Structure 1
């Protein structure tokens, strides 16, 4: 297995062990006539509701889409001593 394959396997194991989800579903890199690819990833532990991800035009001369993500924090319940 090459280095990229080993890295991919480690990332997959890490996400599975920590019950994480990867939310980016569309291609995020476009360069000339090359086939678009999904290179940018966002991992979280299953938030409710799921994050809202917007795919926005690249910044400057970048060939990567800009990702804007909105995620709602879970309400924390704090208990004060009696």
Structure 2
């Protein structure tokens, strides 16, 4: 696992924290869409290895937000 591009020190620390605590990040699709910009995966869901993977639904943004609404069922 590695931090991509110029994500910065905070992103590297987040990755290390996740790996040390044996956590999984479940969001796999882009969650932010703004005009003609490249979609980004900004919204994350971390858990400590549940029995079953969570079911995540990617729903339309609320109001004027450019972030998708995530609905998670564990």
**Under a length normalisation based on structure 2, what TM-score does the superposition of the two structures give?**
0.89
Residue from 15, 20, 25 that aligns with 1:17: 20
Q: Which has the larger Rg? A: 1
**RMSD of the alignment, in Å?**
1.3
Q: How many residues align?
A: 69
**Under a length normalisation based on structure 1, what TM-score does the superposition of the two structures give?**
0.81
Superposed structure 1 runs of 4+ greater than 2 Å apart? none
Displacement after TM superposition at 1:5 (Å): 1.3
- Name structure 1 gaps, 5 residues minimum: 72-82
